Amino acid sequence: MIHLKPDTSIGNSVLLIRKLKLWSATVIFTLILLLIFIMIQSDLNATPLMDMGLTAIIHPFFLSGFALALYIILFILVLWVIYAHLEYRFAQKQYQLEQIINKRTEDFIIEKEKSEALLANILPKNTADEILAKGKATKTKFNFVTVLFSDIQGFTQIAEEMNPEVLIDELDKFFFHFDSVVEKYRIEKIKTIGDAYMCAGGIPEKNRTNPIEVILAALEMQQYMIRLKESSVLHGLKYWDIRIGIHTGTVIAGVVGHKKLSYDIWGDTVNTASRMETTGEAGKVNISGTTYEFVKDFFVCQHRGKMPVKYKGELDMYFVNGIQPDLRDAEGAPNKEFRLKIQMIKLQDVEEAVNKIFDEEAPPDLYFHNALLARNITGQTELLATAEKLPEEGHFCLKLASVFLLTGFISDYEKPAEGASALMEKILPRFGFEEDYIATAKQIIKNSFSGKYESAADRILHDARYDYLGHIDYIRLTDKLLRERNEHGLLTTPGTWIEIQKKFLADHEFLTSTGRLLRSVSVEEQIGSLRTFYT
């Protein structure tokens, strides 16, 4: 954490100037005083002069006009020295006060940062920021949240038999590990009550992958408890088993309390997740039929049938037995294919975030490079990549590049490729995207703006970007581009623009077979329409 220290250099400079001023006045005063003393001393040593038989005494120096002038100057210097001394003393006092204020300000900043960090640990960042800004936080409805409950099997009996301090230490060890797991998967810890641990995915930032991530977290918790159990059995110690229940649905999230703030969630989804835990089995991850529908392509699930649930009737339940064989490595962890599939889903969340940036941050004079064109390019990229049978990994990187292709025009119209790359670096790590995929997508964008079409992905993005050249809305869009360029200082007359576009249309070629097939208006027809429109 960076502490912003107050600047003390100005106070030091002022104090130094005052000190130099005082020294200068003192030195000048001393020199003049010394000069007067020397002159007077020379008068006292003077001898009578004989001139034409008369004895003449030279007038004393201290009575001369020059001496009177020196006295006046000396008097002024005395006043100047006194003033400079008082000014220096004042500056010294001011500097000391500034030092005290700066120290207290720095202490205040450090304490403020500590308080904000503590609040951020207790509450989600968005909620903490809202409380700091407004003094309260509004409750929010989330339509797609996955809630996890875990509970230790037979905890009541264990608590009666164990030393309380040992019991708390053991619980702390479990929950400390659970906290690290939920943080890894960007899941929000809600609370612990006794031996129960509750967390939720999909809040406070909405996402489509929260059922998958919550189950991954549950499996890691389960594996941790299995390792502890094996170690305890090996040493002849008692072991603890946990039940885990998961359900997906709608919740209301918000802060309760006025003094001891607490972030909590409410709703039928929370109750159902709790029922999944209580009707589960020790060492098992029990999920509802609703959650199963979202994760069945990723995990091996065992159907338990319809199980009776208090106040709910009968609900479908499944035990999660692990990751699908083709999506896991030799150790049972998610492999590259698993990570790619989940990032393909996350890409939809990224698209929403980018659309929001266009809606909220794009300047109004982006008539051409706007949200509508960005969405059209992304959709056309998807179509062409599918038709050209691009491999899944290349398809993903290409689509990621298409989402960010035009975002650079928002921040840097002259260097859109650099602007797009900067936004990718800012946004994508928050969604858990891997660096290799980000680097590949950035290179595709760079190639698009520099006219390099080295790979199939480059050629597909080229055709998606210039798809409008082969359609009837070309005239409308090219006129928007002309207006946009003129408002950004790239002034072009209609006549010049016609010539630029004629050459561009004549030189342009679609680089994929699908792109060529999708052209609906010929180059000649577009040039004819261009002349008609601007004359």
pLDDT tens string 393-410: 999 999 999 999 999 999
For the packed helices 65-122 and 9-44, what is the interaxial angle rounded to 10 degrees? 160
For 233-301, give the DSSP string: HHTT-----EEEEEEEEEEEEEEE-SSS-EEEEESHHHHHHHHHHHTS-TT-EEEEHHHHHHHTTTEEE
Q: How many other CB atoms are found less than 10 A from the CB of residue 102?
A: 15
- Look at residue 33 in the predicted model and tell me its pLDDT: 67
pLDDT tens string 212-259: 999 999 999 999 988 888 887 787 767 788 999 999 999 999 887 776
Instruction: Please give, one letter per residue, the 3-state secondary structure of 204-215.
Output: CCCCCCHHHHHH
CA distance 350 to 418: 19
Q: For residue 311, what is the DSSP state?
A: T
pLDDT tens string 103-150: 888 888 888 777 777 766 677 777 777 777 776 777 889 999 999 999
Cβ atoms of residues 32 and 73 within 8 Å: yes
φ, ψ for residue 101 (rounded to 5)?
A: -65, -45
CA distance 300 to 208: 20
Cβ atoms of residues 127 and 134 within 8 Å: no
CA distance 331 to 326: 13
CA distance 396 to 402: 10
Residues 423-443, mean pLDDT to the nearest whole number? 92
280 vs 54, residue with greater confidence: 280
Best CA proximity match to 187, nearest among 164, 209, 163? 209
CA distance 345 to 212: 11
3-state secondary structure (DSSP) of residue 491: coil
414 vs 97, residue with greater confidence: 414
- Look at residue 144 in the predicted model and tell me its pLDDT: 95
Cβ atoms of residues 247 and 291 within 8 Å: yes
φ, ψ for residue 355 (rounded to 5)?
A: -60, -35
Cβ atoms of residues 424 and 443 within 8 Å: no
- Look at residue 170 in the predicted model and tell me its pLDDT: 81
CA distance 515 to 518: 5
Residues 528-532, mean pLDDT to the nearest whole number? 90
3-state secondary structure (DSSP) of residue 394: helix
| Cα-trace Rg, the chain | 40
Confidence of residue 47 (pLDDT cuts 50, 70, 90): very low
- Look at residue 137 in the predicted model and tell me its pLDDT: 74
159 vs 380, residue with greater confidence: 380
Average pLDDT, the chain: 85
For the whole model, what pTM was predicted? 0.76
Cβ atoms of residues 226 and 218 within 8 Å: no
